Amino acid sequence: MRIKILALITILVVAAIFGASFASRAQVRPTISQPKPTVSPTPPVKTKDDEVIKVETDLVTLTATVIDKNGRYRADLKQPDFTIYEDGAKQELAYFNTGDRVPVSLGIVFDTSGSMEDKIEGVEDAVEHFVKSVSPNDEIFLVRFSDDAELVQDFTDDRKKILRAVESLKPRGSTALYEAVTLGLQKVKQGRHKKRALLVLTDGNDTASSINLQTVLSLARKSEVIIYALGIGHGEKGSVHSGIFDSQMQDTVDMRALRSLAEATGGSAYYLENAHEDGRDRIDEAAEEVAAELKQQYTLGYYPANQKKDGAFRQIVVEVKDKSLRVRTKRGYYAPDKDNKQS
């Protein structure tokens, strides 16, 4: 019995020694000389439409519309045709793209005040034309406004959802135009596309907002949003509508405010009086023109030579070689300050 126990112990000792030797061999690996990894610059972001956008916070981007003397869009220009000036100093163009490849995040801001009662069907029709004319890759949301402003359809690329939301709108109350534009500016910033625009449709002036035009203009200038506005006149059906306690209120489209918002952001404002005269539908025509313009614009970008973070307003001028052409873009931007991001 003792002999068997000694033999078993001997076997276990030998096995332990062999196992340790095998483990030590397994842990020893030859050292392979490998090159040190190199740090590559952050690659550009490529969207599904092959739009390349550098992720750089210092890059100032702007949308430019080029029109010839006959009012036709010119979408055939190249990067060398453009020159950008900031506060009079020439800048080096670092980014260039054409509108047909740039998807847009869009907001429709729809007046549903009482004065729209006899016009709402025509404006609904114009929105339908607009929605069907923009690029299929564009995303759209809908804001309605009367006494207040309300988001009635969030961002979607489903055109039927937008049209159903438009068809459900009912005219009533006053006109909170400035609050509606503010809501639109806030909402469109949440869009997934870098290019952003608002289409405002109204037949009146602001009668209900708690903020003024200057506040909205300041927000618009600080945004990266193009504002288009259709001001619907009252020539064909009158401007009087019922107000509080059935009183009669006079409502006149405020083109001064609409033009100020459009000019500050590089968009356009249309005054549409007698919109259905001579068998034409000028509201539809204007809406389709806005959709066409969005597809024929240029996206330009540059790194400003002035690197001061002082929060000051920087004036922008864009010129093209062909002096017979007219360029429309935003008038400038607010530089970043030490505590806030660039506007």
- Residues 47 and 155: their CA atoms lie apart, in Å, by 18
Q: Which of 71-80, 106-115, 231-240, 291-300 has the lowest mean pLDDT?
A: 231-240
Closest to 187 in 3D by CA, of 214, 161, 153 = 153
Q: Are strands 332-334 and 60-67 parallel, antiparallel or unpaired?
A: unpaired
pLDDT given for residue 341 in this prediction: 54
Which segment of 145-154, 280-289, 315-324 scores lowest on mean pLDDT? 280-289
DSSP-derived pairing of the beta strands 269-272 and 225-232? parallel
pLDDT in tens, 39-54: 333 334 343 333 333 3
Provide CB contacts within 8 A for 149, sequence distance 6+: 143, 176, 179, 180, 182, 183
What is the rounded distance in angstroms from the CA atom of residue 188 to the CA atom of residue 226?
Answer: 10
- Could you give the 3-state DSSP secondary structure of residue 334? strand
Please, which pLDDT band fits residue 277 given cuts at 50, 70 and 90? confident
pLDDT tens for 63-82 read 999 999 999 999 999 999 99
Distance from the Cα of residue 36 to its chain's centroid: 42
| pLDDT band per the 50, 70, 90 thresholds, residue 57 | low
Residues 101-140 pLDDT 10s:
789 999 999 999 999 998 899 899 999 999 999 999 999 9
Reference 68, options 226, 228, 296; nearest CA is 296
Tell me phi and psi for residue 197, to 5 degrees: -150, 155
Residue 120 is encoded by which pair of tokens? 């709402």
d(CA 257, CA 269): 10
Average pLDDT of the chain?
82
